[in-house]
Amino acid sequence: MNAKELLKKYSKPENYINRDLSWVEFNKRVLEEALNPELPLLEKVKFISIFCSNLDEFYMIRISGLKEQIAANVDEPSIDGLTPIEQLKKIEKTLKPLLKTLDNYWMDYIVPSLNENNVKLLSLDDITDDDKANLTEYFKKEIYPVLTPLAFDPGRPFPYISNLSLSLAILIRKPNGENHFARVKVPSILSRLLQIDNIIEPKKSIGSNGNFTATYMWLGDIIKANLPLLFPGMEIVEAHRFRITRDTDIELQEDEADDLLSVIEENIKQRRFGSVVRLEVGHPVPDFMLNTLIDNLQITKDDVHVSDGPLGLSDVMGLFKLPLHQLKEKPFYPVIPKVFEEEDDYFSIIRQKDILLHHPYHSFSPIIDFIKKAALDPDVLAIKQTLYRVGPDSPIVRCLIEAAEMGKQVAVLVELKARFDEQNNIYWARALEKVGVHVVYGLVGLKTHAKMTLVVRKEYDGVKRYVHLATGNYNATTAKLYTDLGFFTSDDDICSDVSDIFNFLTGYSKQKEYKKLFVSPVNMREKFIELINREIDNANAGKEAKIIMKLNSLVDPAIICALYEASNSGVEIKLIIRGVCSLVPGVTGLSENIEVRSIVGRYLEHSRLFYFYNNGAEEVYLSSADMMQRNLDRRVEVAFPIENPRLKDELIKTLIKVSLKDNVKARILQSDGSYVFPEIKETSKKVNSQEWLMNHALKAMGVRTQKPFEK
């Protein structure tokens, strides 16, 4: 069946889980990690920060989109049958108990536990009058000069409040008895958690028993205690904290843009002024003050979240950096595969055999070294690369700059439309242009999300091409935190395909056929449906048939329908979907042969892998693409085959099989959209796939491992 026929056959709303409700379930799994009693304390703090940071972005992008639809009176249901307003109500209802759980957990468990470990989070009630006086002196010198009190009265309009900023809403009473509203922003340039050891207890950073200690107070509490200094001669009647979230989704009119870089720069500025989509306030807050905020921010009471705990807990990630190693997971240091330690000539290595890297278990340094060697090698003629999220201090870009300065032909596609990385990418695009690199900003209507590097080298037998393809970004920092796969090859067909894709990106091309790669928006969806149909044909012929996919998200209706058709034909389907999954598993007559699991653990699962049994002639593809409409229709993406039997076998025996055995960090998706931990029998061995892979990487290097990597 083709995509259109499949969509028609499985069009019922009950066949799909709402993508945003599925995302809330994913973030719930992140919160569950924070609640995990077996996790060290600072790891719990890290997951709390990630949960809150995820939620901020969700409101800035997804919730803002739903509210725009509601404002435009859009009532057309999504594929799962929910209208925008129904989706919003269900999301808020699902989130409310999670936020309550978070508040209680922070106050009742995290703060006392930190205190037990000599990390004290104090309030003003916890310190002496002398300490308060010391804090006031510190406030005058270090904090007061940064603050700007803003009044609100007939002569001064309601102040602009920036996205994700924490503020104090203050009721001021003048000597004549008049009441006025004022706002003071808690400056983001200062740390939200202010370390006060040397303020309230001079020169005491080591406890009496020799252990490290750290004492903190919330910056907002210190500002609140010293408000009379900001409003001299006025009575501070009351002050309450609040935080807003704005719509930050940039809408580009690319077809009307003469200069994409200038348009995106302007849109980044406009992002600051997006409409307010969420108001968080601390409990209790009086009605008159809440109504003042609601009226002037132009929101409704439905947009208000009342919290019993601190606002903006995404900021607590700073605590994770404390040198308290006993409160963290045992550190893991990525290994460099032996092949790169035994031989220094990367081009000779890759010419002889394909190489697979699995980050963060393998170090990212071979990719940096590959590009650096290409930059310095006099026989290298050209380097071409795509850059999506490169990070603020990119060794990759510095290598490309060095290559251009050495006179090599360097062409780079810098994707300016990478959300929340636009400013960073603009900076690097300009730096590259200054040294003569051919910089392309992307294609109209498409984001370039494919991760590709092409090196062209003059050798004894003619010009030879070398390629690196990956599932993740060329970002040395995230490569330590995300699980991704990278692939070096000199395969002529793959190198030819990559050359053709770069010609498509930098020039003009309508090429529809590639030798080995699947390319979106050209043919990726169709190619994967063809492979699914082949498994269906094998199942119908009485042969064994199996599909395994590992993704971040599965949302594309056509791919979901193709998997339903395969399930109904008897194909065994295992899906490892970290985040959003709109497919409904385990339904008789629809998906009884489909199991969906999500792994949320120490590292962010980010690699995308596609396995097809193919009547015993197994095929494995890796890709930068998730199965979403945006990836398949509105992005330039690449899926590439792993044909080397040794590498294919390694992927199947390690990543695939171990991920499917995970019973520690995996959760199983139920047909109602909820997730449960797999049952572990008393005789079963506990398997944490990420720990197993750390252990495996160390053993391959001959390193003797110790707990917790050994189970």
Q: What is the pLDDT of residue 265?
A: 59
- Residue 707: pLDDT band with limits 50, 70, 90: very low
Contact yes or no for 370/346 (Cβ under 8 A): yes
Decide if pLDDT at 39 tops 80: yes
Number of other CB atoms surrounding residue 136 within 10 Å: 15
Of 47-56, 272-281, 644-653, which gets the smallest average pLDDT? 272-281
In this predicted structure, what is the pLDDT of residue 153?
Answer: 79
Please state the rounded mean pLDDT for residues 641-660: 97
Q: What is the pTM of this model?
A: 0.93
Give the residue-averaged pLDDT of 141-152. Answer: 94
- Residue 682 has a pLDDT of 75
**449 a catalytic residue:** yes
Contact 374, 367 (CB under 8 A): no
Q: Render pLDDT for 468-511 as a digit per residue (tens, 0 to 9).
A: 999 999 999 999 999 999 999 999 999 999 999 999 988 877 78
Task: Summarize the chain as % helix, strand, coil (round to 5).
Answer: 40, 25, 35
Catalytic residue from among 449, 468, 606, 696: 449
Select the highest-mean-pLDDT range: 444-448, 614-618, 678-682.
614-618
The number of helix segments (H) and strand segments (E) in the chain equals 24, 27
Determine the Cα–Cα distance for residues 539 and 315; give it in Å rounded to an integer: 52
CA gap 93, 111 in Å, rounded = 27
Task: Give the per-residue pLDDT at 269.
Answer: 55
Lowest mean pLDDT segment, chosen from 41-50, 374-383, 421-430, 605-614: 421-430
Distance of alpha carbon 31 from alpha carbon 236, whole angstroms: 38
State the pLDDT at residue 270. Answer: 54
Q: pLDDT digits over 563-603, tens only?
A: 999 999 999 999 999 999 999 999 999 999 999 999 999 99
Mapped onto helix, strand or coil, the DSSP state of residue 377 is: coil
Q: Which residues contact 521 (CB under 8 A, 6 or more apart)?
A: 446, 632, 633, 634, 635, 636
pLDDT in tens, 518-562: 999 999 999 999 999 999 999 999 999 999 999 999 999 999 999
Query: If you average pLDDT over every residue of the chain, what do you get?
Result: 91
101-112 pLDDT, tens digit each: 999 999 999 999
